[in-house]
Amino acid sequence: MIEICKVSKSYNKGKVKAVDEVSLTVHDGEIFGFLGPNGAGKTTLIKMITGILNADQGSIKINGRDIRGNPLEAKMQFGFVPDDPNIFSRLTGIEYLNFMADIYRVSSITRVQRIKELLERFEMSLAAADLIQSYSHGMKQKIIVIGALLHNPPVWILDEPMTGLDPRSSFDLKEMMREHADAGKTVFFSTHVLEVAEKLCDRLAIINKGRVIFCGSLQEIRAHAQANQSLENLFLELTENE
């Protein structure tokens, strides 16, 4: 569960208000999509949830642990997939996974089993011993997804996870998100692609210029739309009128 309460953040000494009094609650067992056009403030909010940025105002709790008050426990609760997968290029895939397992204190037995299982699932077993530098964009994305899942986190946070993945991997990832939610855990992801949100989410929030302009289930959003207006038009309209 993620509880976001009246969170704001501005850049450049207040000139750019990237996130403006956002309040959201993401429940256990659901996939929550965070939808918005480029520059809407999605990454900024995710950075605050994960402790990368400090919020100017408001509080964020992950499974009841405040990210500012109790950061280490809060950080233990989630696995994070950042939007830029270009990290640790001078480590091999397996070194990276082992590093993450150490940091998240995954026991030896679980670690071997999970790394093996996830590598196979993402068809990364062959590349694991190579430097991440030698991976393609999608492969980098996959190794990071695996790293984020090693400790079987109760909350899974992903920033634009589908970009750069081929249809097959994208499908696998969506399936894993579904499984994760069905196991009673929380999945929170951002996207600017409407179809992804539409197909995958139990609930979603639409954000534009730092403000949440809609939050609810797909049915609710459809009801919100006029009779035969497509979801796409609604999205366009909502984000334009602001």
Ligand X SMILES: Nc1ncnc2c1ncn2[C@@H]1O[C@H](COP(=O)(O)OP(=O)(O)OP(=O)(O)O)[C@@H](O)[C@H]1O
CB of 68 vs another protein, minimal distance in Å = 9
The site that binds another protein (CB under 8 A) totals a number of residues, namely 46
φ/ψ bin of 12: left (φ > 0), alpha (ψ from -120 to 50), beta (otherwise): left
Separation between Cα atoms, residue 222 and residue 216, nearest integer Å? 10
* DSSP per-residue letters across 60-104: EEETTEETTTSHHHHHHHEEEE-S-----TTSBHHHHHHHHHHHT
Q: Does 191 bind Mg ion (CB under 5 A)?
A: no
CB of 81 vs Mg ion, minimal distance in Å = 12
Q: Does 188 bind another protein (CB under 8 A)?
A: no
The CA-atom distances, in angstroms, between 241 and each of 41, 208, 237 are 17, 10, 6
For the chain, report the end-to-end CA distance as a whole number of angstroms: 29
Out of 2, 24, 35, 41, the only residue in the binding site for ligand X (CB under 6 A) is: 41
Site string for another protein, 133-162 (x = CB under 8 A): xx----------------------------
How many C-beta atoms surround the C-beta of residue 102 within 10 A?
A: 11
Q: Does 42 bind ligand X (CB under 6 A)?
A: yes
Out of 18, 35, 40, 43, the only residue in the binding site for Mg ion (CB under 5 A) is: 43
List of residues contacting another protein (CB under 8 A): 47, 50-54, 71-73, 75-76, 80, 82, 84, 86-88, 90-91, 94-95, 97-99, 101-106, 108-109, 111-112, 115-116, 119, 125-131, 133-134
